[in-house]
Structure 1
Amino acid sequence: MPPRAEEPRRDPSGSRRGSSRATGGRGEPRTGEPGVQGISDARAYTPRGRTVREERQAAGRPTAGGAEQRRTPRGARAGGDPFRPALQVLDGGRAGGGRAGRREPVPAARAAVVRTVPTRARPDDDDDDAPRPPRRRPAGRGPRRPTRPAAGRSPRKPRKPPRLADPRRRLRLGTLLVLALFATIGVRLVFLQAVDTPAYAGGGLADRVIRIDLPAPRGAIYDRTGAPLANSVEARYVFADPTRVRDRTETARALSPLLGRPASELAERMKPRTLENGKPSQFEYLARGVDVPTAKKIVALDLYGIGVHRDERREVPGGDLAANLIGFTSQDMVGLEGLEARYDDLLRGEIGRRVYEAGQGKLDAPIPGGYSSTTLPKPGSSLQLTIDRDLQFKAQQVLKSQVAKVQGSVGVAIVLDVPTGEVLAQASHPTYNAAKPQESEPTDREDAATSFVVDPGSIHKAITFGAALQEGVITPDTALPIPDTIVRGDTTFRDTHPANGRRMSLPGMLAYSSNVGTIEIADKLGPDRLIDYQKRFGLGQPTGEGIPGEASGRLLPAQSWSGSSYGSVPIGHSVDATPLQMAAAYAAIANNGTYVQPHLIKEVISGKDGSRTPGKAPVTRPVLSPANAKALRTMLEAVTTVDGATGLAAAVPGYRVAGKTGTGIRYVDGKQQPGEVGSFIGMAPADNPRFVVAVFVWSPGGGGGAVAAPAFRDIMGFTLSRNRVPPSGAPAPKFEVFPR
């Protein structure tokens, strides 16, 4: 809308639009001109229903040449006409402060509208163009309204109306905002679907995923024939949730006869207790390794707070059979002692796991097409030992009966296969039930063959004689004058069978276990060469048989020898060795002078596919020549054949036996123990040895030697018979103890 001017609009000719002057006369306005048939027609009538002319005539005023005036008389006061404000609004004029309005020229584009500009009404002023005096404002009123500029002055520049908003601009801005909103939502959706999906999916997955452990049974331990010595069976464990048990006493009474435990013990385990984190315990074991039928009975009782779950139990069919070798496991199937501990990583399987999405509550079945992952279990591998179950049983039985005669506290029996070095039996006494290890003492569970450290005594003399033969110091026909005693350092050494200075053959020295003759031979050999052969025969280092915690023994270095060491070391004192080390040394003599490492593992059976892998090949090394080894075996036969010899009780009817008796000392933590260690190690048939048997018996009161030889005889006889070894074809040679 154009700004409204303070003065009425005029035509270029100077006449007002819409007035009678614009027509060129005071007649009626021409049709189609501004002010005709518009709002001015309505203004030609007063609110009283009369025309302007009638109003003028009533007021006694001229009608300007008889033409009808469509203007309101200047003398009419707006205040006297209650409809004047409404007409001014319709006319688009401004209130005149109680004065009559003046018509404003109407543009040609808006001819239907006649604007009325308010003017100062004067009753007797008919000249529309005459100047009007300014109106004075009474004192005390508000600020004076702006007046019209005087004639000749430039009118005050009207204020511009506020600029209207551009709808196109609003539309563009709205479109941009909507597009930005959709773009933001789209980018967020991309992040949710592509980038953040794993995080959100993983967060919710834990609430609907079920994990099931797939058991992997522990591998078994078999003897050389495949008979189980230890194996795992499926079982159950019974547990309690103390927070849900309603009546501990009644629940314990119901479980006691099934679990075989006192009701008071079970009730105590069901007693509520608080964990270290301050939360109440919701799981307590009541029993482990419960057989499946018993577990089903417990489930049938439907006791509140009592549950049953899958478990595994280790079974040892033989009870104490080879228990000191096999060892035992914990209730969690972890090897603690013996072969179970040594090969725990091999025997123990890797449990599998199945993970899948499932519904909630009763709809806990796998969701079709949902997440599912299965890791197959890896059953543990099994061990096949070189042990013969029947021979092991016989060795334990004989050892137990013989040790009982002298109230021995420790006994050892070992059976070795000569060509292969396989351990066919390794018995210890006392022993224990591997199925119930908690009922035994720790000392009862030790494997005496590898942990029993002794001064071997006279059985060491075979090593001294073998080294002397190999080094050429002596020959099989050597005979030496042997005095009754000999002094080395501050110690006097004697023989139990004095020679009284006579010449004694090498077989005679062994048969009567001459200390003096052995010391004289060792003097010719020297300490360095003797120690070298001790190492070649396997002394001073673990055999590596496979039992954990095997003792290494100890050899006295040559620089540490005292004067008496030249007498004590050759006869088996000041030397620490285990029964297994000494048995392996005699096996080297029986094997034509070749040392073969004793070992227990025959094969490893894969738990995955059942494939068999042979055990690690044993270490072998030459010690004696076959000729010297045979000569030494022949000399050792005198121990079981010469009249009055020390080993007559070890003779096996029908077989030639070569061996040696010994009387040693036992040491525990470096301290000598009371009593003595009686021993016998021998081989049969002596002309072609197949087996070596070693027996050691320590008794605090002595007398071990009296039972070691008979125990050897019984064990060796059974071994030869079980393996169908034919008797010796030729008798043992005749030995001359004191040659002429």
Structure 2
Amino acid sequence: MPPRSDDPRRDATGSRRGSSRGSEPREPGLGGISDARAYTPRGRTVREGGGAEQRRTPRSNRSGDPFRPALQVLDGGRAGRAGTREPVTDGARSGRRSTAAGGRAGVVRTVSSRPVREPFDDDDEDAPPPRRRSQPRRPAAQPRRPVRKPRRPPRLGDPRRRLRLGTVLALALFASIGVRLVYLQTVDTPAYADGGLPNRLAVVELPAPRGAILDRGGEPLAHSVEARYVFADPTRVKDRFATARLLSPLLGVPVSDLAEKMRKRTLPGTDTPLQFVYLARGVEIGTAKKIMALDLAGINVHRDERREVPGGDLAANLIGFVSQDMNGLEGLEAKYDDVLRGQAGKRTYEVGLGDLAAPIPGGYSRTTQPQPGSSLKLTVDRDLQFMTQRILAKQTAKVKGSVGAAVIIEVPSGEVLAQASQPTYDAANPTKVGSPADRDDAATTFVVDPGSIHKAITYGAALQEGVITPDTTFPVANTIVRGGVTFRDTHPADGRTMSIPGMLAYSSNVGTIEIAEKLGKDRLFDYQKRFGLGQATGEGMPGEAAGRLLPPDQWSGSAYGSVPIGHSVDATPLQMAAAYATIANNGTYVQPHLVKETIGADGKRSPAAAPTTRSVLSPANAAALRQMMEAVTTVDGPDGPATGLAAAVPGYRVAGKTGTGLRYDGGKQQPGEVGSFIGMAPAESPRYVVAVFVWSPGGGGGAVAAPAFREMMGFTLRHYRVPPSLTNKSPKFEVFPR
């Protein structure tokens, strides 16, 4: 018989009583709530009505629970024997339950043919019991084995703490980077910025426009015009020799010179490569365009200026010339170079390296604007200068190998209206000249022994000191001996009595020496200095010679004869012209000068310093001397014409003096002689003084000096529209009064 079931609601076959389906045969382990509860988690249900007291009841007394049979796990539909555990075969369903009196219910599983038992823990409703291997049930009296709870895994770090730590580290990193950037941008900026700056800098000079040289009417004698300069960057030139061969025909510079300029090198005292070098200055704009059309690497052009002399040789010996760098080399260009040149500017900027040698936008850039030079306004009249040069060239051409000088001074201002030299040169092309001496200004560098033109100084001093008067006469011998030297007259008087105008007309050496002896050497020496001899005039020309006077304590016996007639005296044509201008200016010496005013770049005019003046003769004595000197250009008696008759200007009264002297070069007397004539007109009220000097190795200068004076003075008077002396004729002079 099948075992009796403990569940009163089930029969021996395991079916529940009162069920319509209880009579149907059932497959073991299926159907019914009990079967469903047998598969609830941990194989148990909620106890009903048990309470704490029931939980304290021994397991053997819990069979009275009406739901207990339903919690029993049936094995194949058969009730297990109390206190025993039946083995479950491999085919038994996992999860079947078996019970034992007073024992603990459990589930026996077969896993890999090994029985495993899951204990039930009535006291622990939440935690699942650990699985146990299937083994024989211990006796009921055996104490319960403690259930081990699974070990908790080690507690991991708090993610929020890790997040906070990472945030702090990131902020600290960015803060340190920010501080460093601020430090670099504020504290170390100059050091880092300047560290590599020299390697990126390009410097371009901005030339200052040079001031012009103008004549008294504002017409340019020399001025600057726009041009181009050609420069090279040696660091970018690919083949300097090939480049030089292309540029040489256009610039007129030898290939070797251009190639040397384009050679790579560094700035003196540094490791910085040279990136700028001039190849040519003052290049015409058309030529510069041809160079740019070649598109040569490292070659470029920039705005420049070129000195232009419109008149070519007009006043060339006065003006001088400049170098390609616009530096004055000779003449007024050299004397006033600091005024004319101005102050050059400079542009310094950052450029890219390599082939990108272009200004860096926003990079370092500094520009110093050039300051244009001032202009010089001269006292020279370009029209008068032109005619003076033309006349001098024509007259000197008559004497082979001659050198000529001419000066025209305005009375009473002392302004030099014309100053010519022969030979001359083209100031626009100064290298094409026969001799460097041709570039000299003869009026200030031509040192001569003035000869008889010095006699006007001797007679003027004698008048002023009362040694003679305009009416003085005395016998004049043909010769006179002083210091063993015999001095003769070219127009012998044969012991006849001569007047002072007659002595001037025939240039008597003997009569002049006798007057000088009465004057005395000390007073004569003093008047030489008053008339401006022995010192440079300060006209404005560079290299002006000072001349030389023989001090009285150095006079030899012959000096008493040579000094009064203009020998043993060194002077320049300009000094002698200034002495005669003193006579023309009523006895007042006025320093001759060339510069009238300076005109700044802003148009501001600054007059030149006032010339030095001093009184030498009284106006009456100066007028008397001028009248006596008119005999030189008017006397034409039975004893022959006066020495200066060829210098007479028709329609005007002219007072002057001829001279024949010697030339000295480097302190040595040169062969030949110097012929000269200095005069003033109109003699009654002189307006202009003209001095002409002609030296020739073979002589004959005197034959052309007087005619040259006549032409120059005549043009000057007509040019300035001076009325002729028609109603005021020259007096009649008696050379040998009875």
1:506 aligns with: 500
Contact 2:232–2:262 at 8 Å: present in 1 too? no
- State the shift of 1:582 in Å: 0.2
- State the shift of 1:619 in Å: 0.2
| AA aligned opposite 1:449 | A
In the alignment, does 2:725 pair up with 1:731?
no
1:706 aligns with: 703
Contact 1:249–1:267 at 8 Å: present in 2 too? no
- Whole-Å separation in 2 of the counterparts to 1:698 and 1:275: 54
Contact 1:219–1:347 at 8 Å: present in 2 too? yes
Contact 1:408–1:704 at 8 Å: present in 2 too? no
Kindly tell me: are residues 409 and 736 of structure 1, through their superposed partners in 2, closer, same or farther at Cα, counting changes over 3 Å?
A: same
- Whole-Å separation in 2 of the counterparts to 1:725 and 1:420: 16
* 1:493-519 superposed Cα distances (whole Å, 9 cap, x missing partner): 111111111110000000000000000
Aligned residues: 558
In the alignment, does 2:615 pair up with 1:617?
no
Alignment map for 1:479-490 (pairs within 5 Å): 479-490=473-484
| AA aligned opposite 2:474 | L
Q: Which has the larger radius of gyration?
A: 2
- Mean Cα displacement is larger for which, 544-553 or 355-364? 355-364
In the alignment, does 2:625 pair up with 1:628?
no
- State the shift of 1:196 in Å: 3.9
Alignment map for 1:671-682 (pairs within 5 Å): 671-682=668-679
- Whole-Å separation in 1 of the counterparts to 2:375 and 2:187: 48
Task: Name the % identity.
Answer: 73
- State the shift of 1:418 in Å: 1.2
- Mean Cα displacement is larger for which, 457-466 or 193-202? 193-202
- Whole-Å separation in 2 of the counterparts to 1:705 and 1:394: 20
In the alignment, does 2:659 pair up with 1:659?
no
What SS does structure 2 have at the residue aligned with 1:229? strand
What SS does structure 1 have at the residue aligned with 2:501? helix
What SS does structure 2 have at the residue aligned with 1:216? coil
1:685 aligns with: 682
In the alignment, does 2:319 pair up with 1:322?
no
- Mean Cα displacement is larger for which, 653-662 or 400-409? 400-409
2:23 aligns with: none
Alignment map for 1:24-423 (pairs within 5 Å): 192=184, 195-206=187-198, 211-239=203-231, 244=237, 246=239, 252=245, 255=247, 258-259=250-251, 261=252, 265-266=254-255, 269-270=258-259, 287-304=280-297, 306-355=299-348, 364=358, 367=361, 372-423=365-416
Contact 2:281–2:325 at 8 Å: present in 1 too? no
- State the shift of 1:267 in Å: 7.0
Q: TM-score, normalised by structure 1?
A: 0.70
- Whole-Å separation in 1 of the counterparts to 2:632 and 2:335: 39
Kindly tell me: are residues 562 and 548 of structure 1, through their superposed partners in 2, closer, same or farther at Cα, counting changes over 3 Å?
A: same
Contact 1:273–1:281 at 8 Å: present in 2 too? no
- State the shift of 1:442 in Å: 1.1
Kindly tell me: are residues 226 and 378 of structure 1, through their superposed partners in 2, closer, same or farther at Cα, counting changes over 3 Å?
A: same
2:633 aligns with: 640
What SS does structure 2 have at the residue aligned with 1:233? strand
In the alignment, does 2:599 pair up with 1:601?
no
Kindly tell me: are residues 268 and 559 of structure 1, through their superposed partners in 2, closer, same or farther at Cα, counting changes over 3 Å?
A: closer
1:589 aligns with: 583
What SS does structure 2 have at the residue aligned with 1:570? coil
What SS does structure 2 have at the residue aligned with 1:500? coil
- State the shift of 1:195 in Å: 4.7
- Whole-Å separation in 2 of the counterparts to 1:409 and 1:330: 29
- Whole-Å separation in 1 of the counterparts to 2:336 and 2:276: 31
- Whole-Å separation in 1 of the counterparts to 2:563 and 2:359: 76
- Whole-Å separation in 1 of the counterparts to 2:673 and 2:257: 50
| AA aligned opposite 1:238 | V
| AA aligned opposite 1:682 | G
> Structure 1 residue aligned with 2:556, among 562, 581, 593?
562
1:541 aligns with: 535
- State the shift of 1:197 in Å: 3.6
| AA aligned opposite 1:705 | G
- Whole-Å separation in 2 of the counterparts to 1:247 and 1:623: 68
| AA aligned opposite 1:302 | D
- Whole-Å separation in 2 of the counterparts to 1:429 and 1:526: 38
2:115 aligns with: none
Segments of 5+ residues of structure 1 without an aligned counterpart are 1-179
| AA aligned opposite 2:207 | P
- Whole-Å separation in 2 of the counterparts to 1:365 and 1:562: 77
What SS does structure 1 have at the residue aligned with 2:289? helix
Contact 1:414–1:449 at 8 Å: present in 2 too? yes
> Structure 1 residue aligned with 2:445, among 438, 442, 451?
451
Kindly tell me: are residues 290 and 417 of structure 1, through their superposed partners in 2, closer, same or farther at Cα, counting changes over 3 Å?
A: same
Contact 1:494–1:516 at 8 Å: present in 2 too? yes
What SS does structure 2 have at the residue aligned with 1:459? helix
Alignment map for 1:575-586 (pairs within 5 Å): 575-586=569-580
Kindly tell me: are residues 490 and 695 of structure 1, through their superposed partners in 2, closer, same or farther at Cα, counting changes over 3 Å?
A: same
| AA aligned opposite 2:669 | Q
- Whole-Å separation in 2 of the counterparts to 1:251 and 1:487: 73
* 1:272-308 superposed Cα distances (whole Å, 9 cap, x missing partner): 9867879999877654322112211221232445433
| AA aligned opposite 1:396 | Q
| AA aligned opposite 1:555 | L
Contact 1:270–1:284 at 8 Å: present in 2 too? no
What SS does structure 2 have at the residue aligned with 1:438? coil
- Whole-Å separation in 1 of the counterparts to 2:201 and 2:242: 37
- Whole-Å separation in 1 of the counterparts to 2:256 and 2:203: 31
Contact 1:604–1:613 at 8 Å: present in 2 too? yes
Contact 1:605–1:613 at 8 Å: present in 2 too? yes
| AA aligned opposite 1:673 | Q
- State the shift of 1:232 in Å: 1.1
- State the shift of 1:459 in Å: 0.1
- Whole-Å separation in 2 of the counterparts to 1:240 and 1:419: 55
- Whole-Å separation in 2 of the counterparts to 1:409 and 1:201: 69
- Whole-Å separation in 1 of the counterparts to 2:193 and 2:237: 34
- State the shift of 1:439 in Å: 1.4
Kindly tell me: are residues 184 and 528 of structure 1, through their superposed partners in 2, closer, same or farther at Cα, counting changes over 3 Å?
A: farther
> Structure 1 residue aligned with 2:424, among 421, 431, 456?
431
RMSD over equivalenced CA pairs, Å: 3.1
Kindly tell me: are residues 247 and 508 of structure 1, through their superposed partners in 2, closer, same or farther at Cα, counting changes over 3 Å?
A: closer
- Mean Cα displacement is larger for which, 212-221 or 275-284? 275-284
What SS does structure 2 have at the residue aligned with 1:439? coil
* 1:245-295 superposed Cα distances (whole Å, 9 cap, x missing partner): 55956973x656644x49xx4477447986787999987765432211221
- State the shift of 1:199 in Å: 2.7
- State the shift of 1:364 in Å: 4.9
Kindly tell me: are residues 432 and 682 of structure 1, through their superposed partners in 2, closer, same or farther at Cα, counting changes over 3 Å?
A: same
| AA aligned opposite 1:296 | K
> Structure 2 residue aligned with 1:694, among 678, 691, 696?
691
Contact 2:233–2:262 at 8 Å: present in 1 too? no
- State the shift of 1:208 in Å: 5.4
Kindly tell me: are residues 494 and 249 of structure 1, through their superposed partners in 2, closer, same or farther at Cα, counting changes over 3 Å?
A: same
- State the shift of 1:543 in Å: 0.1
- Whole-Å separation in 2 of the counterparts to 1:320 and 1:228: 13
Kindly tell me: are residues 181 and 468 of structure 1, through their superposed partners in 2, closer, same or farther at Cα, counting changes over 3 Å?
A: farther
- Whole-Å separation in 2 of the counterparts to 1:484 and 1:445: 43
- Whole-Å separation in 2 of the counterparts to 1:691 and 1:583: 10
| AA aligned opposite 1:669 | G
Kindly tell me: are residues 401 and 611 of structure 1, through their superposed partners in 2, closer, same or farther at Cα, counting changes over 3 Å?
A: same
- State the shift of 1:588 in Å: 0.2
> Structure 1 residue aligned with 2:488, among 487, 491, 494?
494
